[in-house]
Amino acid sequence: MTTRYDRAFDRLRQRGEGAFIPFLMLGDPDLATSARLLRAAVEGGADAIEVGIPFSDPIADGPTIQAAAVRALGAGVRPADCIELLGRFRAEAPEVPVGILTYANLVKHRDLKAFYASVAAAGVDSVLVADVPVRESEPYVAAARAVGVAPVLIAPLNASEATLQLLSERCAAYTYCVTRKGVTGADDQLSLSHGTLFETLRRFGAPPAILGFGISKPEHVRDALAAGAFGVISGSAVVQRVASNLGDPEAAARSVASFVREMKAATAR
């Protein structure tokens, strides 16, 4: 059975384009604004959307995304609210792939089966549990696959071939590759030397490589595609546009849509 990611990525290959995937923190600054921002991302031409569920200890997130989580938590946003919001968005955008990026404590709070069942019912396509390494991922992968959710895994920089082979067996939808070690955050310059990593992933039949961490400019998109990535995820640069327009949801939506449009234009190969 083909998935939304399969169909979206096939369309991109046919058009000779890479994927641009914006990240939004759900509930930042409130649920109503989040709903508008999800629509804005689609209006801007996003090929898929990655979302965060606000969490008190997001170890992979830099200050911009941490601040977004704090705002959402301060507004009283709960995981159940986020999943309900995604269910409504799915009804509005039936073909846009939606992935969640989250953390193990949040997933395990309800228990694995209950969490994955709830996101599957909302029409979520993938889940990446950012603090679960490849070798410890089996329970999450099994719970995701049991309900038709794609388990996305992070390919560590300097990972061994054995780790990348295991990732290729367990991962689905796409492979999250990072530009550098550390936490998320918009960078001015990227330093990419990922050719060997991308080639190894292709050799093992891993899902398409999507590059994240520090993607904030159209030239970053072009550099990532030239280095061999299938696409990019941009988080902090998107979330910063929300933070700059906290009192004006429509201005935030216009800013997000404009940024997505600009970044998407850079994916033409």
Active site amino acids:
50, 61
Strand, coil or helix: 122 = coil
Can you tell me which residue has the tokens 């530009």?
179
**Cβ within 8 Å of residue 264, ≥6 positions away:** 20, 44, 45, 46, 47
Strand, coil or helix: 13 = helix
**Cβ–Cβ under 8 Å, residues 131 and 59:** yes
161-170 and 195-203 helices cross at what angle (nearest 10)? Answer: 50
Strand, coil or helix: 24 = strand
- Residue 223, token pair as written in the block: 């550099």
**Cβ–Cβ under 8 Å, residues 125 and 94:** no
138-146 and 112-121 helices cross at what angle (nearest 10)? Answer: 40
